[in-house]
């Protein structure tokens, strides 16, 4: 973050900055309207700086919500708390019959504790209390490194397989499978308590690659499958033919039918996400979590036995959960909690974008005055003149 701030400071202080922004504004072959000449260069710089800072902030906040908190929710296994209630003296005096020693003993009650990840605020507080204030973004460097490698690998394989049907899907699957151990290292960084170990020490051994490759490939493929299925329903309902002869929307019945078809596509897309993408994500993360070394504790409660389906290496088992058991051990209560979390994250992200949009609009009206209104009104003019 310090590097970005320093680069931004040097860029703004550079003597050629004002002329560069001026060319960006007054380009377009000299056809830019005259009112843009009245706009202060530094007003535009301030607006662009706001957008730049907001983009960084939204990216970090989105990473915290959609990567860190979501991953912890997939791993957490709520623990049961045992409460012991002793009988009061008044209860003993009111008793007319002689009680046995067992009956007179304390009452033991088993209470299911509320999951930490049931609340975003509680999850963040838990992270800060156990791993410091920067734990909100734990694993961010590894995530950037993995995203960079994944982008390179996907681009390479998609280009190498160009012309082959489904080359993008195959390229994504191969890339995810090859980088499965790196993704597992990121998961371990997110779910484990802070340690002094290096990044390379977190990467699982090559022996575990076979365990991780298939779930990683499926997780990468499922979004494409969901998209293709949704596109198929889109075409099946003839939404791709709107505007063509015989498919115009004229009557009220046509409009109602169009709304119904659009809603059907949206519902189908959500269904694919819930029953295809979500299980693939949860399965991969839980298999990766099962590979966490037994000498490392998790930052949230985690059942390493997965409901008795996994036997630790100390007891002579493999210590790794199976592909199907990883999803089956994620009970319905946890699934509902995860879906609620995704819903909250979606609306929070939309709210952040709306807030930033309003801030930028206010800055535009404060710094640019009438030019902001004229610029917005002049957008269609610029589009038309570009086509001439």
Write the DSSP string, 100-152: PTTTTS-EEEEEEPPPGGGSHHHHHHHHHHHH-GGGGGTTHHHHHHHHHHHHH
The reported pLDDT for the residue numbered 370 is 64
Helix 167-178 to helix 209-236 angle, to the nearest 10 degrees?
160
By percentage, how much of the chain surpasses pLDDT 70?
Answer: 74
The reported pLDDT for the residue numbered 241 is 78
Kindly report the CA angle at 69 between 67 and 72, in degrees rounded to 5?
A: 100
Question: Tokens at residue 20, please?
Answer: 């560069």
Q: 44: pLDDT confidence band, cut at 50, 70 and 90?
A: confident
**CA nearest to 202, candidates 176, 183, 223:** 183
Q: 1: pLDDT confidence band, cut at 50, 70 and 90?
A: very low
Say which residue the tokens 């959609």 belong to: 66
The 10s digit of each residue's pLDDT in 76-108 is: 987 654 444 555 555 545 555 445 544 555 565
Torsion on CA atoms 371, 376, 379, 380, rounded to nearest 10? -120
Q: 124: pLDDT confidence band, cut at 50, 70 and 90?
A: very high
d(CA 350, CA 371): 28
The reported pLDDT for the residue numbered 33 is 52
Query: Any residues with CB less than 8 A from the CB of 342 and at least 6 apart, and which?
Result: 70
CB atoms within 10 A of CB 308: 8
The reported pLDDT for the residue numbered 98 is 47
192: helix, strand or coil? strand
The reported pLDDT for the residue numbered 201 is 84
The answer to which of 164-178, 225-239, 278-292, 308-322 has the lowest mean pLDDT is 308-322
Element containing residue 241 per DSSP (H, E): none
Q: Which residue has the higher pLDDT, 383 or 323?
A: 323
Average pLDDT, the chain: 81
List, as own/partner pairs, every contact residues 351-354 make where C-beta atoms lie below 8 angstroms and the sequence separation is at least 24, other chains included.
352/57, 352/58, 352/61, 353/58
pLDDT of 23 over the 50 cut = yes
By percentage, how much of the chain surpasses pLDDT 90?
Answer: 52
Q: 16: pLDDT confidence band, cut at 50, 70 and 90?
A: low
pLDDT of 377 over the 80 cut = no
The reported pLDDT for the residue numbered 19 is 54
The reported pLDDT for the residue numbered 240 is 81
pLDDT of 256 over the 50 cut = yes
pTM of the entire predicted model = 0.79
Element containing residue 254 per DSSP (H, E): helix 252-272
Q: Which residue has the higher pLDDT, 3 or 42?
A: 42
Q: 239: pLDDT confidence band, cut at 50, 70 and 90?
A: confident
pLDDT of 378 over the 70 cut = no
| Separation of first and last alpha carbons in the chain | 44
Query: Any residues with CB less than 8 A from the CB of 25 and at least 6 apart, and which?
Result: 32, 36, 39, 41, 44
The 10s digit of each residue's pLDDT in 4-15 is: 445 455 554 555
The reported pLDDT for the residue numbered 197 is 78
Say if residues 298 and 191 touch (Cβ distance below 8 Å).
Answer: yes
The reported pLDDT for the residue numbered 81 is 46
d(CA 130, CA 132): 6
Say if residues 47 and 372 touch (Cβ distance below 8 Å).
Answer: no
Length, in residues, of the chain = 388
The reported pLDDT for the residue numbered 110 is 53
291: helix, strand or coil? coil
Q: Which residue has the higher pLDDT, 21 or 194?
A: 194
d(CA 54, CA 50): 6
Q: Which residue has the higher pLDDT, 309 or 64?
A: 64
The phi and psi torsions of 81 (rounded to 5 degrees) equal -100, 140
The reported pLDDT for the residue numbered 117 is 94
pLDDT of 376 over the 80 cut = no
The 10s digit of each residue's pLDDT in 319-354 is: 788 899 999 999 999 999 999 999 999 999 999 999
């Amino acid at each position: 973050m310090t590097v970005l701030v320093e680069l931004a400071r040097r860029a703004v202080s550079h003597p050629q900055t004002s002329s560069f922004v001026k060319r960006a504004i007054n380009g377009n072959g000299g056809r830019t309207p005259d009112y843009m000449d009245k706009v202060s260069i530094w007003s535009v710089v301030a607006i662009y700086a706001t957008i730049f800072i907001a983009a960084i902030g939204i990216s970090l906040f989105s990473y915290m919500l959609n990567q860190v908190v979501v991953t912890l929710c997939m791993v957490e296994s709520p623990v049961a708390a045992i409460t012991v209630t002793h009988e009061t003296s008044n209860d003993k005096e009111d008793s007319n019959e002689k009680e046995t020693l067992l009956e007179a003993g304390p009452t033991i009650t088993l209470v299911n504790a509320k999951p930490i990840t049931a609340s975003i605020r509680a999850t963040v507080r838990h992270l800060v209390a156990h791993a410091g204030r920067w734990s909100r973004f734990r694993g961010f460097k590894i995530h950037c490194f993995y995203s960079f490698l994944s982008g390179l690998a996907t681009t390479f394989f998609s280009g190498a397989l160009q012309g082959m049907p489904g080359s993008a899907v195959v390229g994504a699957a191969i890339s995810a499978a090859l980088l499965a151990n790196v993704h597992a290292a990121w998961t371990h960084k997110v779910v484990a308590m802070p340690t002094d170990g290096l990044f390379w020490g977190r990467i699982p051994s090559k022996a575990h690659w076979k365990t991780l490759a298939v779930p990683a490939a499926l997780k990468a493929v499922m979004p494409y499958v969901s998209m293709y299925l949704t596109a198929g329903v889109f075409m099946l309902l003839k939404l791709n033919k709107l505007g063509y002869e015989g498919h115009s929307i004229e009557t009220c019945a046509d409009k109602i039918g169009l709304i119904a078809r659009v809603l059907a596509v949206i519902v189908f897309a959500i269904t694919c996400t819930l029953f295809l993408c979500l299980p693939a994500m949860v399965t991969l993360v839980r298999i990766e979590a099962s590979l966490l070394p037994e000498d490392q504790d998790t930052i949230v409660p985690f059942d390493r036995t997965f409901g008795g389906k996994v036997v630790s290496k100390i007891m002579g088992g493999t210590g790794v959960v199976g592909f199907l058991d990883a999803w089956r051990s994620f009970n319905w209560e946890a699934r509902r909690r995860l879906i609620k979390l995704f819903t909250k994250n979606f609306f929070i992200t939309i709210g952040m974008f709306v807030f930033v949009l309003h801030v930028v609009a206010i800055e535009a009206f404060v710094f640019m005055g009438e030019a902001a209104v004229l610029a917005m009104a002049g957008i269609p003019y610029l589009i038309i003149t570009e086509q001439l």
